[in-house]
């Protein structure tokens, strides 16, 4: 077999490549060619996969894994396309767009748009101790007590993590996630 | 290989050990290397897989969050493993994400494919192992990890293994070599010793040699011991074989049985000593083969022997036959050959083992017995008596030919048949007789009637007795019987003839006396009683002498003695035929006697037949006187006959002379009368012519008469001497004289075959001429046919001359033979009438008779005889 690798393996390589392409059409992945929000949408989804929610949280009783977008939706169709058909912990991933923080009940991940930046502290406070992963691309989000903040480094979408904030609400972030984070802070949440 | 075969056991052991251990090691090393390679590869794959999974897991987040640097950091941990040539991470889309090449250069390779549904794929190429693994995260394909690893470790390990293997191989070979050398001492040396012993045994055929015992206690010791035991057994067996061969040879010699063997495949034959002896040859000088043997077998037997053997070899029939052998000295030997054929398959003999037995003596005895038996059979068969030999079941074993003829069994084959079946009507007493004889009795009967089924009766004298086997048991019976019917009949006839004889003797007119050798009277019949005036009772037992006058007694005794010594059986007694007897009253009387002698049981007996010829003697005396008177008167008569003959001769002489002398004047008269007639006929008157005619006629007739008379007279006086003459010639002559007459009358004359007799041929020709001439002359209206016959009757020939003419009245049968007697006128039949007289005279001159048998109109048959 080994000696005949040349031809056979070339054929199998071609087949595998085709298969990989087919797979790719159904899978979200990061690509530099993607727009910034397409990448961010994928990150939202992926964050959900690296986070453990507490067993008794309100969201855990929901039947769906809900990603909420608070405020003006910057993703366009990218978020829906990303999560369409995906599951996390056996639950269908859905996106919900909300305009008020009060509507955030049952969300696992909540992306807070910059348009509401002025009110960030209020939003975070309103969320209180709800077990929600808060994500935003608002600068200084983590310093403000947010958990994950998208940052652009060398034209790449990176993120910083406020581990303390996450632990405060009982979220357990995987080391893998921490490993790829641009910065992990353990600063205390302001206001305490 | 040949060299290996020639190795000594030690060498073989050494080589064997080294080869085994070397091969084992090589195989083990090879297997180990192969196994190590497989295991190493599996281990490598497993190791890389594991690495791929770990690395993959560590790279998941990097990939998901697009952090090639993070992934690169994770991958660079692999740089610590020197065998990893390169390591790369790909996105699920197959785009290189992060990775490195150990040598630093080069971009990421195009991502290799994985078969659908498989988590990984690996392959070896260019001494390298390539492995790609799909990494999933939470059930989703997240990345691919690709490794390329070199196999240098494997190669290093293999080299190490090989080095170790070579070392171990060397060490083990050395050990094997040394061990073989060491243990070879305990194996090879005793075997070598055993080998030397075996060679000595087989070479010298000395089974008393023994192999030396070894000090070890292994199989070789057992082998040596077994070998010695075997030798011992062989020695014993050899001894036994030697003994049995010797005794076999001895037995063969005693029994005259030779044995032989032929191995068909090798075509080698072996003969026992006795075989050579049977053929009368020496083993060293005679190669044992069929062809050589055949030269000693008589040519007449060769083909039979060859065929007998061939049939045996081909399995058609067993080899079992007799043949002869001619020895050097020319004597013959008869042998019986038998053989068994061992065949691989029918008709394919492999080995033939046979024996040859000298059966000359037995064969000769058999021939002698057969001859004796044959002679006995011949003797019985041709015995002039009816003999039958029967077995216990009354079956015929042998019978004589007389048995067949006496019991009218011709044409039947009775041998083997039961006596009772041959004679189903045999009376019951016979059955009892046979049964008694079967139990040992001997029965005889001198006279026994034997009635035949056809009603005739035969008389038998018989004897039935048992015959015994060699062991004295009764094997059956012998019936001897003699047909005495003939004897019985002749006895009967004898008795009858004796009675008849007695009657003859009693009633005979002649006296019959029988005396024995002592001259004593045994038979004295009534005629003798009368003759001698003596009662038989007084005469019997007395000597004959008292019947003979005293003066003749001595002469008579001598006479009887001489007669007894002669071989004459009977004769008349007494020279003049007369002897003299003496009556009781003393009167003597003449007797005519004849005597016969016979010898019965060595004793002479004389039978004398006597006739009293007193009366006859008297009559003879008278007769003698008369005879004397007759003789005297006969003498007178003879004188008269002589006188008559003389006068007859004179008369004949006279007739001859007269007829001769009368011829001359008569011829003159006739001549001149004829002359007168010729010259003066018609010149004188008519009366003169008539007278002259009568004169001429008379003269010529007289001439005829005179000629005839002359001829007649010449028959007696001028006849020739008798000489043998052929009558056919005589008749021929007679017929030639009658040629004219025969031609004129168209007569036919025939005759029988005629004899040659002593006679006067000319005169006999005259006889036939006369008789045949008469036959032709006296014919009637038919043309004459005359036949001359000749028949021999006792001592004479009877000739006959038979015609179909007018015949003769029997009253003239005598007259016609007289001179000048005629029955017819001259006009009817011319002739002088003297022919038959001449004929008669000629026949009588030859000592014959002549007569005629005839009836008028029926032809005449003249017959005359001549002495043969």
The per-residue DSSP string of B682-741 comes to TTS-HHHHHHHHHHHHHHHHHHHHHHHHHHHHHHHHSPPPPEEEEHHHHHHHHHHHTHHH
Min Cα–Cα distance to chain A from B113, Å: 4
In a domain, A87, yes or no: yes
Q: Yes or no: say if A119 and A141 are a contact pair by the CB < 8 Å rule.
A: no
Q: Is the dihedral of CA B318, B320, B323, B327 positive or negative?
A: positive
- Would you call A29 and B92 a contact, using CB atoms and an 8 Å cutoff? yes
Residues spanned by CATH 1.10.287 within chain B? Answer: 614-714
What is the token pair recorded at B487?
């004897």
Sort strands B511-516 and B521-524 into parallel, antiparallel or unpaired: antiparallel
Closest Cβ opposite residue A9 in set B63, B116, B123 = B123
Distance (Å, whole) CA B145 – CA B89: 5
In a domain, A26, yes or no: no
Q: Give the model's confidence band at A23: pLDDT under 50 very low, under 70 low, under 90 confident, else very high.
A: very low
Closest Cβ opposite residue B67 in set A21, A32, A180 = A180
DSSP helix/strand/coil, B112: coil
Instruction: Give the CATH superfamily of B365-489.
Output: PAS domain (3.30.450.20)
Q: What is the DSSP letter of A65?
A: E
**pLDDT greater at residue A47 or residue A25:** A47
Q: Give the model's confidence band at A5: pLDDT under 50 very low, under 70 low, under 90 confident, else very high.
A: very low
Count of CB atoms situated within 10 Å of the CB of B549? 16
| CATH code for the domain defined by B614-714 | 1.10.287
What CATH architecture is B9-167? 2-Layer Sandwich (3.30)
State percent of chain B over pLDDT 90: 6
Distance (Å, whole) CA A56 – CA A60: 7
Distance (Å, whole) CA A164 – CA A173: 10
Number of domains in chain A: 1
**B772 alpha carbon, distance to own chain's centre:** 71
| Length reported for chain B | 868
| CATH code for the domain defined by B508-612 | 3.30.450.20
Q: At what angle do helices B686-717 and B614-680 cross, to 10 degrees?
A: 150
From the list B864, B855, B652, B678, the residue with the least C-alpha distance to B770 is B864
Distance (Å, whole) CA B738 – CA B730: 13
Sheet holding B474-483, edge to edge: B396-399, B386-391, B474-483, B457-468, B443-451
Min Cα–Cα distance to chain A from B126, Å: 9
- Cβ-based interface (< 8 Å): residues of A facing B: 1-2, 5-6, 9, 12-17, 19-21, 23-24, 27, 29-32, 39, 43, 46, 49-50, 88, 156-159, 174, 176-177, 179-180
Helix count and strand count (H, E) for chain A: 6, 10
From the list B829, B836, B801, B800, the residue with the least C-alpha distance to B815 is B836
What is the token pair recorded at B640?
């008269």
In a domain, A25, yes or no: no
Bridge partners (DSSP) listed for residue B137: B140
Count of CB atoms situated within 10 Å of the CB of B511? 24
Q: Yes or no: say if B765 and B771 are a contact pair by the CB < 8 Å rule.
A: no
- Interval B726-754: pLDDT, tens: 988 888 888 888 888 888 888 889 998 98
Find the CATH number of the domain harbouring A121.
Answer: 3.40.50.2300
Min Cα–Cα distance to chain B from A103, Å: 29
Sort strands B457-468 and B443-451 into parallel, antiparallel or unpaired: antiparallel
From the list B497, B542, B498, B492, the residue with the least C-alpha distance to B516 is B542
Q: Which residues of A touch B124 (CB under 8 A)?
A: 2, 5
DSSP letters spanning B528-597: HHHHHT--HHHHTTSBGGGGS-HHHHHHHHHHHHHHHHS---EEE-STTS-EEEE-TTS-EEEEEEEEEE
Is the pLDDT score of A26 beyond 50? no
* Confidence at residue A33, expressed as pLDDT on a 0 to 100 scale: 58
Whose tokens are 């952090």? That residue is: B67
Element containing residue B615 per DSSP (H, E): helix B614-680
Q: Which residues of A touch B112 (CB under 8 A)?
A: 9, 12-13, 16
Closest Cβ opposite residue B70 in set A19, A30, A180 = A180
- Would you call A31 and B93 a contact, using CB atoms and an 8 Å cutoff? yes
Element containing residue B365 per DSSP (H, E): helix B360-382
Domain that holds residue A115: 35-185
Min Cα–Cα distance to chain B from A34, Å: 12
State percent of chain B over pLDDT 70: 98
Classify residue A20 by burial, with Cβ atoms within 10 Å: 0-12, 13-18, 19+. buried
Pick out chain B residues at pLDDT < 50.
Answer: none
pLDDT, average across residues A132-148:
87
pLDDT mean across residues, chain A: 77
* Confidence at residue B787, expressed as pLDDT on a 0 to 100 scale: 93
From the list A80, A125, A121, the residue with the least C-alpha distance to A102 is A125
Whose tokens are 């020895």? That residue is: B327
What is the token pair recorded at B273?
């000593």
Backbone phi, psi, residue B468, to 5°:
-120, 150
In a domain, A171, yes or no: yes
Closest chain B residue to A89 measured between Cα atoms?
A: B138
| CATH code for the domain defined by B719-867 | 3.30.565.10
Sort strands A133-136 and A156-162 into parallel, antiparallel or unpaired: unpaired
CATH 3.30.450.20 fits B256-358, yes or no: yes
What is the token pair recorded at B857?
């109109």
How far are the Cα atoms of A78, A79, A150, A181, A185 from residue A160, in angstroms, in the given order? 22, 21, 7, 5, 8
Distance (Å, whole) CA B284 – CA B82: 98
Is the pLDDT score of A3 beyond 50? no
Torsion angle of the four alpha carbons B769, B771, B775, B777, in this order, in degrees rounded to the nearest 10: 60
Backbone phi, psi, residue B746, to 5°:
55, 40
What is the token pair recorded at B836?
């038959």
What is the token pair recorded at B701?
């007739």
Is the pLDDT score of A21 beyond 60? no
Element containing residue A126 per DSSP (H, E): helix A120-127
Sort strands B128-137 and B120-125 into parallel, antiparallel or unpaired: antiparallel
In a domain, A133, yes or no: yes
Q: Is the dihedral of CA A151, A157, A161, A165 positive or negative?
A: positive
Min Cα–Cα distance to chain B from A170, Å: 21
- Would you call A50 and B61 a contact, using CB atoms and an 8 Å cutoff? yes
Q: Give the model's confidence band at A15: pLDDT under 50 very low, under 70 low, under 90 confident, else very high.
A: low
DSSP letters spanning B801-842: EE--SS---GGGTTGGGSTT--SS-TTTS---S-HHHHHHHH
What is the token pair recorded at B415?
């041998």
Backbone phi, psi, residue B513, to 5°:
-130, 135
Q: Would you call B79 an interface residue with chain A, using a CB distance cutoff of 8 Å? A: no
- Would you call A46 and B65 a contact, using CB atoms and an 8 Å cutoff? yes
Largest CA distance in chain B: 234
């Amino acid at each position: 077999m080994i000696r005949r690798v040349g031809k056979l393996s070339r054929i199998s390589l071609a087949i595998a490549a085709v298969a990989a392409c087919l797979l790719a059409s159904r899978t979200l992945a990061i690509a530099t060619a993607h727009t910034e929000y397409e990448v961010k949408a994928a990150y939202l989804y992926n964050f959900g996969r690296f986070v453990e929610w507490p067993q008794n949280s309100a969201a855990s009783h929901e039947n769906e894994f809900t990603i909420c977008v608070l405020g003006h939706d910057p993703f366009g169709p990218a978020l829906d396309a990303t999560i369409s058909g995906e599951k996390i912990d056996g639950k269908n991933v859905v996106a919900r767009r909300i305009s008020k923080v009060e509507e955030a009940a049952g969300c696992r991940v909540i992306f807070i748009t910059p348009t509401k930046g002025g009110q960030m502290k209020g939003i975070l406070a309103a969320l209180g101790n709800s077990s929600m992963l808060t994500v935003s691309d608002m600068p200084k989000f983590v310093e403000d007590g947010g958990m994950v903040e998208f940052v652009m480094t060398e034209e790449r979408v990176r993120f910083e993590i406020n581990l303390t904030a996450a632990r405060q609400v009982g979220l357990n972030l995987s080391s893998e996630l921490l490993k790829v984070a641009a910065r992990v802070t353990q600063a205390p949440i302001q206001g305490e | 290989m040949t060299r290996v075969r020639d190795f000594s056991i030690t060498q073989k052991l050494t080589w064997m050990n080294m080869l085994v251990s070397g091969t084992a090691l090589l195989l083990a090393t090879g297997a180990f290397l192969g196994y190590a390679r497989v295991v190493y590869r599996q281990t490598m794959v497993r190791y890389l897989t594991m690495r791929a999974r770990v690395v993959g897991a560590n790279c998941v987040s990097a990939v998901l969050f697009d952090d090639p640097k993070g992934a690169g950091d994770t991958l660079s941990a692999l740089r610590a493993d020197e065998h990893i040539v390169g390591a790369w991470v790909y996105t699920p889309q197959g785009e290189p994400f992060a990775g490195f090449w150990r040598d630093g250069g080069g971009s990421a390779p195009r991502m290799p494919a994985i078969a659908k549904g498989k988590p990984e794929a690996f392959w070896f190429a260019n001494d390298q192992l390539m492995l790609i693994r799909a990494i999933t995260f939470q059930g989703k394909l997240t990345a691919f990890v690709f490794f390329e690893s070199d196999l240098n470790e494997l190669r290093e390990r293999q080299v190490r293994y090989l080095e170790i293997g070579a070392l171990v191989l060397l060490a083990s070979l050395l050990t094997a070599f040394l061990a073989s050398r060491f243990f070879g001492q305990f194996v090879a040396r005793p075997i070598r010793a055993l080998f030397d012993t075996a060679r000595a045994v087989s070479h010298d055929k000395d089974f008393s040699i023994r192999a030396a015992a070894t000090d070890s206690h292994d199989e070789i010791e057992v082998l040596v011991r077994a070998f010695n035991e075997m030798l011992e057994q062989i020695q014993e067996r050899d001894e036994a074989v030697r003994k049995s061969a010797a005794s076999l040879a001895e037995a063969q010699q005693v029994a005259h049985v030779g044995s032989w063997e032929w191995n068909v495949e090798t075509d080698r034959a072996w003969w026992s000593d006795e075989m050579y002896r049977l053929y009368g040859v020496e083993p060293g000088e005679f190669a044992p083969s069929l062809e050589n043997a055949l030269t000693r077998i008589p040519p007449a037997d060769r083909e039979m022997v060859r065929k007998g053997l061939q049939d045996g070899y081909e399995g058609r029939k067993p080899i079992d036959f007799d043949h002869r052998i001619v020895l050097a000295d020319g004597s013959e030997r008869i042998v019986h050959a038998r053989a068994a054929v061992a065949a691989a398959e029918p008709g394919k003999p492999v080995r033939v083992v046979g024996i040859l037995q000298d059966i000359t003596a037995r064969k000769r005895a058999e021939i002698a017995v057969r001859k004796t038996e044959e002679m006995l059979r011949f003797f019985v068969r041709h015995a002039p008596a009816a003999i039958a030999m029967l077995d216990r079941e009354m079956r015929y074993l042998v019978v004589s030919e007389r048995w067949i003829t006496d019991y009218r069994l011709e044409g039947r084959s009775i041998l083997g048949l039961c006596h009772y079946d041959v004679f189903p009507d045999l009376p019951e007493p016979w059955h009892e007789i046979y049964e008694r004889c079967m139990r040992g009795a001997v029965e005889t009967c001198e006279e026994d009637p034997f009635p035949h089924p056809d009603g005739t009766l035969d008389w038998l004298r018989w004897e039935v007795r048992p015959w015994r086997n060699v062991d004295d048991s009764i094997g059956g019976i012998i019936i001897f019987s003699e047909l005495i019917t003939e004897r019985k009949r002749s006895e009967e006839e004898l008795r009858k003839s004796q009675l008849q004889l007695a009657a003859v003797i009693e009633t005979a007119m002649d006296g019959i006396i029988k005396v024995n050798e002592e001259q004593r009277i045994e038979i004295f019949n009534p005629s003798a009683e009368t003759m001698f005036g003596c009662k038989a009772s007084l005469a019997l037992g007395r000597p004959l002498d008292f019947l003979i006058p005293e003066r003749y007694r001595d002469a008579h005794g001598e006479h009887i003695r001489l007669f007894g010594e002669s071989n004459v059986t009977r004769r008349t007694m007494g020279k003049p035929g007369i002897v003299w007897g003496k009556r009781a009253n003393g009167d003597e009387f003449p007797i005519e006697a004849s005597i016969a002698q016979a010898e019965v049981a060595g004793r002479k007996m004389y039978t004398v037949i006597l006739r009293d010829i007193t009366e006859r003697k008297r009559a003879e005396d008278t007769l003698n006187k008369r005879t004397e008177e007759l003789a005297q008167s006969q003498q007178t008569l003879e004188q008269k006959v002589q006188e008559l003959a003389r006068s007859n001769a004179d008369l004949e002489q006279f007739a001859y002379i007269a007829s001769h002398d009368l011829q001359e004047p008569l011829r003159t008269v006739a001549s001149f009368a004829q002359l007168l007639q010729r010259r003066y006929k018609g010149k004188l008157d008519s009366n003169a012519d008539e007278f002259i005619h009568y004169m001429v006629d008379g003269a010529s007739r007289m001439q005829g008469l005179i000629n005839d008379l002359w001829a007649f007279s010449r028959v007696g006086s001028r006849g020739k001497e008798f000489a043998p003459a052929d009558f056919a010639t005589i008749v021929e002559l007679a017929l030639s004289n009658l040629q004219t007459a025969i031609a004129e009358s168209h007569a036919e004359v025939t005759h029988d075959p005629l004899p040659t007799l002593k006679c006067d041929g000319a005169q006999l020709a005259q006889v036939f001429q006369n008789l045949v001439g008469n036959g032709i002359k006296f014919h009637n209206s038919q043309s004459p046919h005359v036949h001359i016959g000749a028949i021999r009757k006792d001592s004479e020939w009877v000739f006959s001359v038979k015609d179909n003419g007018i015949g003769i009245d029997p009253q003239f049968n005598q007259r016609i033979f007289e001179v000048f007697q005629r029955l017819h006128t001259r006009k009817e039949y011319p002739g002088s009438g003297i022919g038959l007289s001449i004929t008669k005279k000629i026949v009588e001159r030859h000592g014959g008779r002549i007569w005629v048998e005839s009836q008028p109109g029926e032809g005449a048959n003249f017959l005359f005889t001549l002495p043969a």
